[in-house]
Amino acid sequence: MPTVTPKLYVKAGCPWCAEAMDFLDKHKIAYHKTVVSGNQTAMDEMIALSGQAKAPTMDWNGEILADFGAAELEPFLRQRGAIK
């Protein structure tokens, strides 16, 4: 598990963002949700971390997973021991 609660950057109405949150909730993985829609500061932070403006983007203890779906999220979390 991460030493810091992972940060999930999402956009309002984004189906991939909803899918990512559902996956994290299903696996009881705590995360801090940051909505970048209409929040330029949060958008700038996400772009600085990931080099792009697509959501969802996750900051997992300094490791960035950008513009992903559940198919990419599951192996990312498995490699970090968050799910079995």
Domain ranges across the chain: 7-51+61-79
pTM: predicted TM-score of the whole model, two decimal places? 0.93
CATH number of 7-51+61-79: 3.40.30.10
Distance from C-alpha of 19 to C-alpha of 68, rounded to nearest angstrom: 10
Q: Residue 1: pLDDT above 60?
A: no
∠ CA 78-74-9, rounded to 5°: 110
Q: What is the pLDDT of residue 84?
A: 85
Q: Is the pLDDT of residue 56 over 80?
A: yes
pLDDT band at 66, cuts 50/70/90? very high
Coil, strand or helix at 76: helix
For range 6-28, the mean pLDDT: 97
Average pLDDT of span 57-79: 95
Amino acid identity, position 29: I
Start-to-end C-alpha separation, the chain: 11
pLDDT at 3: 62
